[in-house]
A and B are shown apart, each in its own frame.
Chain A
Amino acid sequence: MESRWEHFEHGADIGVRGTGPTLAVAFEQAALALTAVVTDPALVRPETSVSIACDAPSDDILFVDWLNALVYEMSTRRMLFAQFHVAIDAHRRLRATAWGERVDPRRHEPAVEVKGATQTALRVTQDAGAWTAECVVDV
């Protein structure tokens, strides 16, 4: 099946959605949607890698934690990310690598910073072999 990301509308803010054949790929795609809130992911060079780890009591909380871990790295490292590799084990332990670069305002023209991923419209589902992970992010 096709892996993809998209945005969905939420009043003043934006929803991010990732779809893929596995939970991990859906998370990777949603992370691209997160970057796309700020800039065109194609403009971001995968020059530097950052390791991320989190775990949670449920798939949906894990999804919010994953996005918020990225928001934290974007904020503190002044980075944007364009490539992701996510692995999730049976105990909902997520281990990931994100590749990106420091924000370059001229080249990236970053529109808005993401304050945090929310539990609004939060949904992690599996349907006919496709995983979807989505929520609204506050900007």
Chain B
Amino acid sequence: MDLSRLTRRSDHEWVIEPQGRMRVPGVIYASEALVADMDHKVYEQVANVAMLPGIEGASYAMPDAHWGYGFPIGGVAAFDPDRGGVISAGGVGFDISCGVRTLCTGLALRDIETRRVDVANALARAVPAGVGSEGQISLDDAEMDAMLSGGARWAVERGYGTVADLERIEEHGCMAGAEPAEVSPRARRRQRDEMGTLGSGNHYLEVQHVAAVFDPAIGEAFQLHEGDLVVTIHCGSRGLGHQIGTEFLRRMAIEAAAHGIELPDRELACAPIRSELGRAYLGAMRAGINCALANRQIITALVRDVFATLFPGSTLPLLYDVSHNTCKVETHVVDGEDKRLFVHRKGATRAFGPGHPDLPAVWTEVGQPVLIGGTMGTASYVLAGTGGKGERAFGSSCHGAGRSMSRHEALKRFRGRQIADDLAGRGIIIRSPSSRGIAEEAPAAYKDVTRVVDAADAAGLSRKVARLEPVVCIKG
């Protein structure tokens, strides 16, 4: 990105001044090096989002921002329904409520030193992953409705996990306002056999060890200590979310003109929040959030079964579950006034700080855990929400490393078998049904997650707490 087109407000805050049809500025939170490495398309997309009706504050980009669909991935934007604000299917993305959850294990790295392969094999057998995989649960129409309304709460009621888990999930495990009736038969059909499946691409299930704790006080509150073993799950709403995104993007693109919305980019397809289409999408999207929460809850139960067999007595309490593709109604201060806004986070994580009223009691003193996924060969991070007065980007932070290389290029440069062997030599056991999939997800195809996380910390988006390094990785 051409830095000369930005105004530097501080070391880690860069502004695209309003121009043309931009209603608000664009703000990019990142180090100079990260901004310089960003594609110019990020600049265009941040500016385009700033043109949408009813946008408040600014159009934001996180340190891991990259070229997305309409919205940049790593984009945050909030809209006021009282000012003609919109809701955008592109601003949420195809994988509605894709997210990350981390489970503590009560075990230490030394406890699995000689059993890594056993753990990897057992997890690969227990959790369906990859193209064409099917879950063990098939939902009929009534159960589908119950799942779409209930989210993780539905899963717990069906025996997947415990009530205690719900407190450790955004929205307490159940997104209110879901309208299963707005989820089409085709979306339901795509999900029928996919509950409890991991998916493919950048989704994963990892056993990780806590390699470093940067903030011991918050680390203690999160129950993360050096040498601890944790399990992290990254996946979303599977076929149901993809189909909802597909259908509403089409409708919003076609109907935009009828709503008097001039789209700077067709993929920014959106509808007024206060329109029939906006209401329908909101109801379907919230059902998609519940699907993702239920999916991660079922996978959690499968992982716990594996650990209970291999390590009798282990319980794997949930640290937290965050979603990074969502639109949620939140109260934020804009120009000194409390406003109820529709906050889109596309590849961005909510990062509420201490005292935020939407947080469960357990996090009110330290802020919420912010879970940042890395690659199977590098690291992931746990951060803590900051927020409070002077919160940035409506209380948001980054979500991952972001790719630095196309899948094509990765496939040309790497061999999956070689990567798996190299990682095994470092003590990281990879299991995947696809050697090609491993090559496309090569650690070297991603940006350095540490640079991204350091920028998020330095920008005040969230505070660095712990670094997690992989021990076992199940890829789709």
Contact = CB atoms under 8 A, between A and B. Distances in A.
A108 B434 CA distance: 8
A90 to B, nearest CB: 20
A112 B73 contact: no
Interface stretch (A19-27, A91-99, A114-122, A124-132): A114-122
A88 B411 CA distance: 35
Interface stretch (B10-18, B171-179, B244-252, B312-320): B244-252
Interface stretch (B64-72, B99-107, B303-311, B462-470): B64-72
Contact of B131 (A9, A10, A38, A65): A38
B39 A110 contact: no
Q: What does DSSP make chain A's interface, helix, strand, loop or mixed?
A: mixed
Contacts of B70: 120
B324 interface: no
Contact of B267 (A9, A57, A110, A120): A120
B250 to A, nearest CB: 7
Given A14-B408, A109-B434, A78 B250 contact: no
A68 B68 CA distance: 18
B132 A105 contact: yes
Contacts of A14: 406-408
A109 B201 CA distance: 13
Interface in A69-116: 71-72, 75-76, 78, 102-103, 105-106, 108-113, 115-116
B99 to A, nearest CB: 15
A98 B70 CA distance: 31
A71 B238 CA distance: 13
Given A14-B408, A61-B254, A105-B131, A112 B267 contact: no
A54 to B, nearest CB: 11
Interface string B176-217: 000000000010011010000001111000000000000000
Given A105-B434, A110-B434, A72 B186 contact: yes
B133 to A, nearest CB: 8
Nearest to A72: B186
B246 to A, nearest CB: 4
A39 B21 CA distance: 43
Interface size band for B: 35 or more
Contacts of B56: none
Contacts of A68: 246
A119 B266 contact: yes
Contacts of B249: 116, 118-119
A76 B190 contact: yes
A133 interface: no
Nearest to A57: B254
Interface stretch (B327-335, B358-366, B435-443): B435-443
Contacts of B293: none
Contacts of B440: 111-112
A7 interface: yes
A78 B66 CA distance: 31
A119 B267 contact: yes
A57 B251 CA distance: 12
A138 interface: yes
A45 B250 CA distance: 32
Given A113-B200, A119-B269, A136 B69 contact: yes
B190 A75 contact: yes
A64 interface: yes
B25 to A, nearest CB: 24
A103 B434 CA distance: 12
A68 B239 CA distance: 12
Interface in B50-107: 66-70, 73, 93-95
B403 A115 contact: no
B116 interface: no
10 contacts: A9-B406, A110-B131, A111-B131, A111-B434, A111-B437, A112-B131, A119-B267, A119-B269, A138-B95, A139-B201
Of all A-B residue pairs in the complex, the 8 with the closest CB atoms, nearest first, are A103-B132, A110-B131, A115-B242, A11-B67, A105-B433, A111-B436, A116-B246, A115-B94
Given A71-B242, A111-B436, A119-B266, 8 more contacts: A11-B68, A11-B406, A14-B406, A57-B254, A68-B246, A75-B242, A106-B433, A110-B433
